Amino acid sequence: MLLERCSITCIGKTLMMIVAIFLLPQRAWAAIGCTLTDPAEDLKYLYPEMTSYKEELKEFTRMTGGTVLFASLKDRLGSDLDPIYETYETPYTVYSVFKGTQKMGIVHGVNVPGKGGVIQVFLSMDPTTAEIRKFFFQRLESPAATQLRLKAFREQFEKMTLADFYKHDYYAAVDPHAPADKLGKIKPPALDATTRPDYDASLRGIRKNLILLDFFIYGKRFEPFFEKSKQALQRKNKTKG
């Protein structure tokens, strides 16, 4: 029989395969990415003049200094990382959109946990200015889905950058009612207390999306704004102490 003819090496390889299969579901469960359902159609809708696009997989595990970069995500996000959607092994797919040879857009999505279930937040970005062109949900399991998908709500984030989120942190520390605080001026849709967590999760998704793109695409362009907000918060805490 086959098993009787197997060498010790053969048996060892078989056992290794069994162990790998056993471990696979756990790893797959711990590294859930976020991709467009139909990239060709979705990207053409966002960029009607598109002639081609490119998908690029970004993973902290494959990046130079990825361990340090991943550790810094928590500080910039301002909250603990989710053990399912925000692990070190989580893959991220960046879509670059072209008209001929000209890069005309970047699209990227993230998963964030909401009260009603997973929320998939996508951003369409200007590749040069790093401004938000459009913000949309691919998946939104929430009682507040209708309100959060309102065009009037989503349009408020257009032309914002990660700098505006970091500036909001700064203003929260030094001047909570500053007229220059763009994020502070956002008008949320009509929500009750039970659906408010999904609004907060959506904002977190936008912020995380921008932070990752700053890491992956824009060369940490907005780090000075983060450092300034961090210093302001430290001064505020020291004054309280």
State the Cα–Cα distance between residues 235 and 172, nearest whole angstrom: 12
* 8 A C-beta contact, residue 233 and residue 173: yes
Domain co-membership, 14 together with 49: no
pLDDT per residue over 138-165, tens digit each?
999 899 999 999 999 999 999 999 999 9
pLDDT confidence of residue 240: 72
State the Cα–Cα distance between residues 225 and 227, nearest whole angstrom: 5
Which residues of 115-196 form beta strands (DSSP E)?
Answer: 117-125, 132-140
What total of structural domains would you count in the chain?
A: 2
Domain co-membership, 67 together with 101: yes
Residue 19 backbone dihedrals phi, psi, to 5 degrees? -65, -40
Average pLDDT over residues 4-21: 36
pLDDT over 90, % of the chain? 77
Domain co-membership, 108 together with 136: yes
Domain co-membership, 169 together with 202: yes
- Structural domain range at position 47: 31-240
pLDDT confidence of residue 236: 81
Domain co-membership, 55 together with 111: yes
pLDDT confidence of residue 29: 43
pTM reported for the whole predicted model: 0.86
Domain co-membership, 78 together with 197: yes
Query: Residue 132 belongs to what H/E stretch?
Result: strand 132-140
* 8 A C-beta contact, residue 63 and residue 5: no
Average pLDDT over residues 14-26: 38
Task: With a cut of 80, say whether residue 15 has pLDDT above it.
Answer: no
177, with CB counted inside 10 A (0-12, 13-18, 19+), is exposed
Average pLDDT, the chain: 88
Question: How many C-beta atoms surround the C-beta of residue 219 within 10 A?
Answer: 9
The DSSP result for 8-25, as a single string, is HHHHHHHHHHHHHHHHHH
Residue 181 Cα distances to 42, 129, 175, angstroms: 32, 19, 9
pLDDT confidence of residue 59: 97
Domain co-membership, 198 together with 114: yes
pLDDT confidence of residue 85: 94
State the Cα–Cα distance between residues 175 and 164, nearest whole angstrom: 14
Domain co-membership, 147 together with 109: yes
Domain co-membership, 17 together with 89: no
38's CB contacts (< 8 A; 6+ apart) are none
Q: Which amino acid is at 34?
A: C
Task: With a cut of 50, say whether residue 196 has pLDDT above it.
Answer: yes
Domain co-membership, 66 together with 109: yes
pLDDT confidence of residue 19: 37
Domain co-membership, 4 together with 119: no
- Cα angle 196, 108, 226 (rounded to 5 degrees) comes to 70
pLDDT confidence of residue 25: 44
Domain co-membership, 192 together with 159: yes
Question: How many C-beta atoms surround the C-beta of residue 232 within 10 A?
Answer: 17
